[in-house]
Amino acid sequence: MSLSGLVSAIGPDTLLVLAAYALLGGTYLVVVPLALYWWMNRRWTVMGRIERTGVYGLVFLFFPGLILFAPFLNLRMAGQGQARA
């Protein structure tokens, strides 16, 4: 089945709605969580009380997307060197 056959079978309005869902879903699950990870990694040690509360709220809001990237990102701070035994 060709693309024009698919458009005529489904309808352009349905494809527009599916594209909108894909765009919103991609933004919710990929774009905003990666931006939030970047922001937290950059500002974690210098955040104020209000900014940290806002970040916690965003973490709660975008939790599904953050869980998707959690196994691949390491946000641990660098240590002070080799630990002595």
Which helix (H) or strand (E) is 2 found in, with range? none
C-alpha Rg value of the chain to the nearest Å? 20
Which helix (H) or strand (E) is 35 found in, with range? helix 32-43
- Predicted confidence band at 2 (pLDDT cuts at 50, 70, 90)? confident
Residue 85 falls inside a structural domain: no
Q: How far apart are CA 36 and CA 58, in angstroms?
A: 8
Number of compact structural domains in the chain: 1
**Domain assignment of residue 60, given as a range:** 3-69
Residue 31 falls inside a structural domain: yes
> What is the reported pTM?
0.74
Residue 35 falls inside a structural domain: yes
pLDDT of the residue at 83: 60
Is the four-CA dihedral 78, 49, 65, 25 of positive or negative sign? Answer: negative
Which helix (H) or strand (E) is 61 found in, with range? helix 49-61
* 3-48: pLDDT as tens digits: 677 667 788 788 899 999 999 999 999 999 999 999 998 998 899 9
